[in-house]
Amino acid sequence: MAGLESKIPVPGVKNHVVEACHHVVKALRASDNNLDANLIKLLSDLETHLSTLGMADTKKVVEDTGFSEIKKRFKEAKKVILAWEQNQSMMIFDAGFSEADLFFQALYDVQKVLSGFKALPSKTSKKEKDVYNQAAVVLDIAMLRLEKELFDVLNQYKQHVQPQHLSVSSSRGKDIVLDESFVSLDDEVIAEATDEQQILGSNNAELVDPLIIPHVKAIAKAMFACDYSQTFREAFIAVRRDALDEYTATTLEMERFSCVDVLGMQWEDLNVEMRKWTKVLKIVTQFYLPSEKQLCDNILGDFEPSSSTVCFVEISKDTVLSLLSFGEAVSLRSCQPEMLERFLGMYEVSAELLLDVVDSLFPDETGSLLRMAFHELSKKLAERTVTTFLKFKNAVATDESTRAFPGGGIHHLTRYVMNYLKLLPEYKDALNALLENIQVDDSIQEKTGQDILPSTFSPTARHLRSIVTALESTLERKAQLYSDQSLKYIFLMNNCHYMVQKVKTSELRHFFGDEWIRKHIASYQHNVTDYERATWSSVLSLLKGSSNDSAATSRERCREFCLAFDEVYKNQTRWSVPDPELRDDLHISTSVKVVQSYRGFLGRNRIGEKHVRYTCEDIERLLLDLFECLPSPRSLRSSRRR
Amino acid sequence: MRPAQDNQGSFLGRISIRRNQFTDVNTEQEQEDLELFQKHIADRFTELLSPPPPPQQPPSDETNTVAPVPATEQIMSVTWLRKLMDVFLCCEAEFKAILLMGRDPTQISKPPFDRLVPEMLDRSIKALDICTAVVNGIDSVRHYQRLAEIAVAALEQRPLGDGNVRRAKRALSNLLIALSIEDKENVSGGGGRSGGSSAASKGGATIGQLKSSSWAVGRNWSAAKQIHAMTANLAPPRGNEAAGLPLPMFIMSTVTVFVMWVLTAAVPCQERAGLANHLPVPKHLNWAQSLVGIHEKIGDEWKKKEKKGSAGLMEEMTRMEKLGHSLVEFADGFHYPAEKEAAESAAAQVAEMAEICRRMEEELVPLQQQIREVFHRIVRSRAEILEVLEQAGKLSAPVV
């Protein structure tokens, strides 16, 4: 009540001015639908102000006039209020401003009657007491009407805003699906949509039509003034809590799951839910809740800031806790390596929200339960993420095969790991924070050489390199399974080249650094040399002989060379060097060596043309077939002989 | 801070010292530990069943001196529920010490533990969901509290007029509907989203749970089914198992199920039909006697309540309901100006209602926090046990 009585009384003549102002406001609203936000706010404030000016008018009346005057006023007020009682289907708001104003005027008349009597209860006569009693009943009728009005207005004018560029429900494209054998993450999967950055373009959406704000404020003011604040809060909380629940469940399609559900879920389904959760938590906490808080502040902040906080926490509590409990439930699962990215995403969003909004949304004692729940979850996710990260590394380090990888191409483990690692730089801040104190053996000890970027020496970089080091030793073990030395080198070359390519062409290069890249280029080039020595040294040695060899000996050498070449051809056309550039390089450098030696041999020795099965051009052409991963052994004898 | 917790501290200390002295787990000592554990369980529940008389109240106590042993200590009161949470946490800590401390990890991965441990962990997951549901249920109780506060505030008005009584009656009716509402009515809410406005037009904007879409736990989740599932494979160990580790595992599981059952019965909770049937507690065992006593008391109440529908057996809610009915009666017979006698007796009831509200205000949120603590404790213990099992797996079957 105190708030109302402090207003300046307005002499009767000014009512016209007030009325005129109302008209101006209305006309302005009607004139243009695209009023800018500032102006809208100004108008709303003005409207609220005007309605309270009108109400304060009643103050003097009670003091100055006699009982009959009071009774008369009360009768009129009662008529207005009871008329609305007959008209339950219509909202007062929809009847227009002046009608609403009449209702609030009447209400304050009644309230004045009551407070007038309350001040002097002992002097009052029986008649007067009866008026007091009736006034209290009429007040309660009016309050009930306002409670309903609050419900209806908030429900009918609520707006569910879909943040732009956002689609939570669809799982775009192919998801990363992984089984224990690291099979299915291929290069094309990386077309991960990264639209998350765009979600929060516009903060503070209007969760209800701004038109109703002055009206709701007026309801709040009236109910608080008449000691119905508790009722107002309960109703307000109930509507807004349900709106948030509906938003989360329907618009964002976030279902609630029990721990039992989450533990029983298939990984593919869980993966989708975890991804969705990451977005939903962000939208709800960073976008919806600040708007909700602003709505509470708008309506209650002016005259009861503490109520605003209480309402906001009660509105948010249920949804926030249920979102957080999904995170808790996921943390109960044993950490599989494939969960790494999802966990990282979940951790990252929780850490970001903690840094950003949680403390300001839930600052004091009232919100401590929610604030703490956020902190607890974030801590848990951090721990789970690190565990998963280490498990991932361990899985890479201990991956075993029993058979050599056919064709010597790029092992699916290499593909998987490198493509997975490419996803991680996006989470570098989270990773740096998480991995800071985790011990790691890194191949690059300190800042030396050409690497100057700090990212190359960040905890993330060290751990990423160490994962690749683990991958390299695993590949080394897999390479030992080849009985053919040459194929082993091709295998190592292919895989190392693949790693370098993945690093060079992605964000990873800032983490691995130039020195790493240089070393690894050298490493696969070394594999090339090793291969050439292993395959071609012995073959080419067949062409070597002394200058005084007989023609027969030379012919025999040539024959042996061609046989050996056939053998290489038969084997190595089935081998695979998937990268075309690398294959070209390999063809060229082999060709240079082999053709040159062969040409030299043919030049040095006179061998009849019929004894020469392959010309230099044949050899050059045939070499191009190597590493083409041909499906079946191709015999040169039948097809290639001229 | 509470005696039980001091107890637990020294108990843990003793176990760790002993186990450190004898690297091998000595069966005789283990036997002693088990007996101590059972004794502690028995003591704690006996105290819960019949609390010792409160110590002499200091003369300068700020609370009013009416009713010296108030209902606060009574079974199912909010204070009692908070004690129950403490008891659970103590039992759990002791149990974990017995199970894990100084023990060779491979021991709990061998039969019969390869069956018993996973079963126990499975129960703990179900308990987590119940904790979540109950925390949510307590929010509903806080809503009842606020309805009661509205009624109290209205009836405390002087002079008391028809308007105040009208308001109080409305709040009380909503309170009584909320208190007697059955779980199913709560959850379906017929027509979902329209629930809000239809309730408003009936005269009370905020009856009980106006949740449009869901309960705290997932769709189709049922507290009674979870409790039932927790007891499904819960049987006292037989033969030579009865003397060893399976016994405390059985005891702890029983305590867990029991505590969850009590919470579920105390406050509104998703789907509780048939809750009374679901707790086979062995009656002949020493440690279980008081627990069985409490169970029977609550079970009887539950059966009575289940027939007429009830939001929960929390003592404060039960009293709120009684007071609510009699105040509605007062309101029905009220004519302005109030008759002195009726007004006085109503005033006493209003004061009692106010006292209940005050206690709820003080204790409900801490109770929620305790239940969250229980949640986190269960999660932590489960993780620790899983870790030991993983270790055991590595020890017994080294990675190829």
Work out the angle at residue B383's Cα, subtended by the Cα atoms of residues B379 and B388, and round it to the nearest 5 degrees: 150
Residue among B381, B9, B84, B62 nearest B261 (CA): B84
User: In this prediction, what percent of chain B has a pLDDT beyond 70?
Assistant: 78
Q: Which B residues, 145 through 164, put their C-beta within 8 Å of a C-beta on chain A?
A: 146-147, 149-150, 153, 159, 161-164
Lowest mean pLDDT across A507-521, B34-48, B65-79: B65-79
Asked if residue A448 is part of any domain, the answer here is yes
Instruction: Report residue A154 CA to chain centroid gap.
Output: 30
The 3-state DSSP class for residue A484 equals coil
Question: Which one of A140, A157, A224, A237 makes the best mutation probe of the B interface by having the most chain B beta carbons within 10 Å?
Answer: A140
Q: Residue A175: inside a domain, yes or no? A: no
The tokens describing A80, both together, are: 């207005």
Task: Quote the CA–CA distance of A303 and A550 in Å, as a whole number.
Answer: 114
Q: Is B271 left (phi over 0), alpha (psi -120 to 50) or beta?
A: left
- Asked if the C-beta of B232 comes within 8 angstroms of chain A's C-beta atoms, the answer is no
List, in order, residues 6 or more apart from A548 with CB less than 8 Å away. none
Q: Is the pLDDT of residue B63 over 60?
A: no
Q: Do A499 and A557 sit in the same domain of this protein?
A: no
User: Residue A509 has which token pair?
Assistant: 């290069």
Yes or no: say if B356 and B321 are a contact pair by the CB < 8 Å rule: no
Question: Using alpha carbons only, what angle is made at residue A248 by residues A247 and A252, rounded to the nearest 5 degrees?
Answer: 90
Residue A35 shares a structural domain with residue A62: yes
Is residue B348 over pLDDT 70? yes
- Radius of gyration of chain A, Cα coordinates, nearest whole angstrom: 40
- Considering the domain boundaries, does residue A279 fall inside one? yes
Same domain, A264 and A333: yes
The residue type of A48 is T
Same domain, A367 and A417: no
Instruction: Name the one residue in this structure whose structure tokens are 């732009």.
Output: A164
Q: Which amino acid is at B364?
A: L
* Across A286-294, average pLDDT: 93
Determine the average pLDDT of the residues in A543-564: 84
pLDDT (tens digit per residue) in B298-321: 988 888 887 777 889 999 999 999
Same structural domain for residues A248 and A359? yes
Best interface-test mutation with B: which of A114, A232, A234 has the largest number of B CBs within 10 A? A234
Query: How many other CB atoms are there within 10 angstroms of residue B348's CB atom?
Result: 11
What phi-psi label fits residue B140: left (phi over 0), alpha (psi between -120 and 50 degrees) or beta?
alpha
Q: What is the ipTM of this complex?
A: 0.85
**Cis peptide bond N-terminal to B159, omega within 30:** yes
Residue A21 within any structural domain of the chain: yes
Whole-angstrom distance, CA of residue A536 vs CA of residue A571:
13
Residue owning tokens 């084997």: A571
Residues A412 and A451 placed together within one structural domain of the fold: yes
**Two tokens at A472?**
């390299």
A479 has a pLDDT exceeding 80: yes
DSSP state of A356: I
Taking Cα atoms as reference points, which of A259, A252, A426 lies closest to residue A352? Answer: A426
- Under an 8 A CB cutoff, do B196 and A328 touch? no
Dihedral angle at the C-alpha atoms of A438, A442, A448, A453, nearest 10 degrees? Answer: -60
Q: Which of A506, A529, A552 is the C-terminal boundary of a domain?
A: A529
Q: How many alpha carbons lie under 13 Å from residue A590 in its C-beta half-sphere? A: 28
Regarding whether A213 and A100 lie in a shared domain, the answer is no
Give burial (CB, 10 Å; 0-12/13-18/19+) of B332.
exposed
Task: Give the other-Cβ count within 10 Å of A187's Cβ.
Answer: 13
The total number of residues written for chain A in this structure: 642
User: Which has the minimum average pLDDT: A389-398, A470-479, A625-634, B153-162?
Assistant: A625-634
- Judged by DSSP in three states, A576 sits in strand
Q: What is the DSSP string of A367-417?
A: GHHHHHHHHHHHHHHHHHHHHHHHHHHHHHHH---SSPPGGG---HHHHHH
Please determine, for residue A53, whether its predicted confidence score (pLDDT) is greater than 70: no
Q: Are residues A514 and A623 in the same domain?
A: no
Q: What confidence score (pLDDT) does residue A2 get?
A: 39
At how many degrees (to 10) do helices A97-119 and A213-225 cross? 10
* A66 shares a domain with A132: yes
Evaluate if residue B383 carries a pLDDT over 70. Answer: yes
Tally Cβ neighbours within 10 Å of residue A81.
21
Q: CA A69, CA A122: separation in Å to the nearest integer? A: 20
Res B399: pLDDT: 44
Helical residues (DSSP H) of B281-339, grouped into ranges:
289-308, 315-332
Q: pLDDT tens digits for A135-166?
A: 999 999 999 999 999 999 999 999 877 765 45
Average pLDDT estimate for A270-282: 95
Does the pLDDT value for residue A316 go beyond 90? yes
Q: How many CA atoms lie within 13 A of A632 on its CB side?
A: 1
**Does A632 lie in the same domain as A603?**
yes
The residues with which A208 forms a beta bridge, in sequence order, are A158
Longest CA–CA separation in chain A, Å: 147
pLDDT in tens, A218-233: 999 999 999 999 999 9
CB atoms A255 and B218 under 8 Å: yes
Choose among B150, B337, B399: nearest Cβ to A129. Answer: B337
Contacts of B131 (CB under 8 A, 6+ apart): B260, B263, B371, B372, B374, B375, B378
**Domain stops at, among A529, A564, A587:** A529
Task: Say whether both A473 and A549 belong to one domain.
Answer: no
Residue A8: the pLDDT is 39
The reply to whether omega before B51 is within 30° of 0 (cis) is: no
Contacts of A388 in chain B (CB under 8 A): none
- Nearest chain A residue to B380 by CA: give it: A332
Would you call A469 an interface residue with chain B, using a CB distance cutoff of 8 Å? Answer: no
Cross-chain residue pair A144–B203, CB shorter than 8 Å: yes
Q: Is residue A165 part of a domain?
A: no
Do residues A130 and A260 share a domain? no
Choose one of A378, A395, A421: the last residue of a domain: A378
* Residue (of B90, B17, B4, B80) closest to B49 by Cα position: B80
Closest CA to B212 of A288, A246, A317, A159: A246
Q: How far is A101 from chain B (nearest CA, A)?
A: 22
Range of the domain at A141: 2-156
Q: What is the pLDDT of residue B270?
A: 86
d(CA A102, CA A97): 9
DSSP reduced 3-state for A442: coil
- The answer to the question of residue A634 being in a domain is yes
- On whether residue A386 sits in a domain, the answer given is no
pLDDT at residue A169 tops 50? no
DSSP secondary structure string, A516-558?
HHHHHHHHHHHHHHHHHHHHHHHHHHTT---TT--HHHHHHHH
**H helix intervals, A57-91:** 58-64, 67-86
More confident: B291 or A37: B291
pLDDT in tens, B185-212: 444 333 232 233 333 334 344 444 444 3
Q: Is residue A51 part of a domain?
A: yes
pLDDT at residue B146 above 90? yes
Q: Which helix (H) or strand (E) holds B30?
A: helix B27-49
Number of domains chain A is built from:
4
How far the first Cα of chain B sits from its last, in Å, is 50
Question: Per-residue pLDDT for B23 more than 60?
Answer: no
